[in-house]
Structure 1
């Protein structure tokens, strides 16, 4: 099957798929000046690719492994589609979504999407895989970004690697 929006040759894990989805969502989202029909087509492609890559993950060394998660294709799409229209900073660190900037006006929206607030980091975070902290180690936000790698979506159009 050929894909109009996704570069299948660059996808080996769910992380790669999600990165491409975020990039395309910035370009095609109707609230960002994109076309609603193209956005819907892209979403359908994402759903079909998620079935193939949704449980494949990469280690920080780049090796892939398979792990069953409770994450659904619709939850991630819903989160990105709901927060991308606001003038906030969105960082993707591994499987986590971190949100910062002027989030006070949308805090109830973030809560309803499943985000929690990290007081020490002054940012909202989301991890749909039911994360439970297993150590007493406290990492700063910059240490987390350096350890897992970070993709930053800043405001409306910028897409950068942290």
Structure 2
């Protein structure tokens, strides 16, 4: 059975995973083999989806870059933040509650863009007049995840 064939993004896959994990987990009366298959399919879906973020014919990314970025996105995907990939940078917006977690993953804060940013290296002082919108136009932008608005 393909558990994730109807999923279009991370959020849907996460919901499907949670639903089936509750049914298939051995501690909840499920079968260990079925649960392992669910885990394998979930990992495969996440790897495929994150690799397609970098599937841009105009830009070249090394296999190592894709693995690093995929792992970072997997680590932050469950945070309640907005995640965008702009060029070779991962931007985490509305992420104040997770600042310590992001620091541990080598993100750095940009006052100008009001976001935590990851690009695989330490922060460098780069002075530019480019706005966030300029960067999106120049390098391309792919929204990975948006926060969900909660109504009380």
Which of 80, 85, 92 is equivalent to 2:78? 85
2:40 — aligned with what? 40
Assess if the C-alpha contact under 8 Å between 2:86 and 2:140 holds in 1. yes
Cα deviation code 1:75-97 (max 9, x no counterpart): 33332223222221111112221
Which structure: greater strand fraction?
1
Matched, 1:120 2:112: yes
Q: Relative to 1, partners in 2 of residues 1:112 and 1:25: Cα closer, same or farther, differing over 3 Å? A: same
Cα deviation code 1:47-92 (max 9, x no counterpart): 5899xx89x874xxx4464x6474362x333322232222211111
Which structure: greater helix fraction?
2
Mark the runs of 5 or more structure 2 residues left unpaired by the alignment: 22-34
Counting matched residue pairs gives 130
Structure 1 runs, 4 residues or longer, greater than 4 Å off? 3-6, 30-37, 45-50, 67-70, 131-136
Which of 75, 78, 87 is equivalent to 1:94? 87
TM-score (norm 2): 0.60
Q: Indicate the larger mover: 91-100 or 28-37.
A: 28-37
User: Of the two, which has the highest radius of gyration?
Assistant: 2
Instruction: Quote the Cα distance in structure 1 between the aligned partners of 2:89 and 2:20.
Output: 28
Assess if the C-alpha contact under 8 Å between 1:93 and 1:151 holds in 2. yes
Which of 129, 147, 158 is equivalent to 2:138? 147
Q: Relative to 1, partners in 2 of residues 1:4 and 1:87: Cα closer, same or farther, differing over 3 Å? A: closer
TM-score (norm 1): 0.57
Instruction: Quote the Cα distance in structure 2 between the aligned partners of 1:140 and 1:80.
Output: 23
2:32 — aligned with what? none
